[in-house]
């Protein structure tokens, strides 16, 4: 019963925090330490699949357009944004792996809070048309967001806004550009599973509950974030992250 509740809760956390600007990896590291749950590659893959499906459900029309014309419009911008992301991740990967122990977690939460505060103050002045330049800046931000505590959605939306783009366009592109990165991270995790093997210590009902929680909460979080970004109220997430960042010092 305890395993069921913990996995269900972690599914809720992943679904909500993957798309809200508060860092899903940071929250999973934090709560795993609180609940004393060992890192599970299987659970990570499972939750990544769930959140990927959430994006597909919400943006299926946009995704279908990209599939039909992958080298035009948003499709080309996603390719351009993914290149700096991959290069940065490859360069900093040794440091990133050690960061999952939680050493940098409080500082990364607080850094995300600062980014959200700044972009929230400047967002009302930014109404430019979304361009390739904005996509590149968002791709760079996405590369550094692999550190637990640095929100991928938060940092990419902030990068788009600070580089002059409309906040609504930034939010939408942030979710779309996450698709190849989520897929690539899943491929890397599957590779590790094949290389080192995998142990599944969870009951099927716990696995289903965790997946369902992440999937449903992911859909809710995406729609909520799209509406909230239009209003430019990111400062409430910044305040929350200051609290979580301070908490992380003591966990």
| pLDDT, tens only, 152-196 | 999 999 999 889 888 889 999 999 999 998 888 888 777 777 777
Q: How many domains does the chain have?
A: 1
Burial class (CB in 10 A: 0-12, 13-18, 19+), 107: middle
Mean per-residue pLDDT of the chain: 87
Asked if pLDDT for residue 30 goes beyond 90, the answer is no
Rg (CA), the chain: 17
- % of residues, the chain, pLDDT over 90: 45
| pLDDT, tens only, 112-143 | 999 998 888 876 665 678 899 999 999 999 99
Q: How many other CB atoms sit within 10 Å of the CB of residue 143?
A: 24
Listed in sequence order, the residues at least 6 apart from 222 whose beta carbon sits closer than 8 Å to its beta carbon are 19, 54, 55, 58, 59, 175
Show the tokens assigned to 185.
């991270």
pTM: 0.88
Hey, is 165 helix, strand or coil? strand
User: What is the span of the domain harbouring residue 104?
Assistant: 2-249
- Which of 37-41, 94-98, 149-153 is the least confident region? 37-41
| pLDDT, tens only, 61-91 | 999 999 999 899 999 999 999 999 999 999 9
């Amino acid at each position: 019963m305890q395993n069921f509740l913990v996995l269900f809760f972690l599914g809720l956390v992943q679904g909500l925090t993957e798309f809200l600007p508060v860092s899903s990896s940071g929250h999973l590291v934090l709560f795993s330490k609180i609940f004393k749950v060992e890192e599970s590659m299987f659970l990570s893959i499972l939750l990544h699949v769930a959140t990927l499906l959430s994006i597909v459900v919400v943006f299926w029309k946009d995704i279908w357009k990209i599939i039909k014309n992958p080298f035009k419009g948003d499709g080309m911008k996603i390719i351009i944004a993914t290149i700096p992301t991959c290069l940065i991740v490859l360069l900093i990967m040794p440091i990133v792996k050690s960061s999952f122990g939680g050493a940098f977690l409080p500082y990364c939460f607080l850094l995300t809070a600062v980014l959200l505060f700044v972009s929230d103050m400047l967002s009302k002045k930014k109404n430019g048309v979304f361009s390739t330049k904005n996509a590149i800046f968002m791709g760079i931000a996405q590369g550094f967001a692999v550190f637990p505590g640095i929100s991928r959605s938060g940092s990419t939306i902030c990068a788009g806004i600070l580089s002059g783009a409309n906040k609504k366009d930034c939010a939408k592109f942030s979710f779309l550009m996450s698709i190849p990165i989520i897929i690539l991270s899943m491929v890397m995790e599957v590779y590790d599973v094949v290389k080192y093997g995998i142990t599944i210590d969870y009951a099927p009902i716990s696995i289903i509950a965790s997946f369902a929680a992440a999937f449903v909460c992911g859909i809710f979080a995406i729609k909520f974030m799209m509406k909230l970004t239009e209003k430019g109220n990111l400062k409430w997430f910044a305040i929350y992250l200051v609290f979580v960042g301070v908490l992380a010092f003591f966990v």
